[in-house]
Amino acid sequence: MEKIDTQGMSGEAVKGCTDNVYPHDADGNPIYPSFNPPPLPIFSDKERAELKEIMLDALKDYYLGEKTHPAWTLDQFQE
């Protein structure tokens, strides 16, 4: 029974293939191209403002019956 190649790395080298060939620095370490991913916001500005309002209302309701003052104030979260 032959071994199963689960990573796809045990195949023979293909002549002329230069997919993963990068220049090396003086110490012999590869120099990879920079990675600058585009920003991918999860929420729009309108959704972010709405969520902030919902969270502030929830915090106000939570601390409404508290006798002690929380370690933070809601003014810290409002812009």
Please tell me the predicted confidence (pLDDT) of residue 19.
Answer: 63
Residue 50, amino acid: E
In order of 15, 18, 20, 21, 36, the CA distances from 10 in angstroms are 15, 17, 15, 18, 31
Q: Which comes out higher in pLDDT, residue 10 or 55?
A: 55
- The structure's pTM equals 0.40
22-77, pLDDT tens digit by residue?
A: 888 888 888 888 889 998 889 999 999 999 999 988 888 887 766 666 666 666 66
CA–CA dist 11, 68 (Å, integer): 67
- Mean pLDDT computed over 9-15: 62
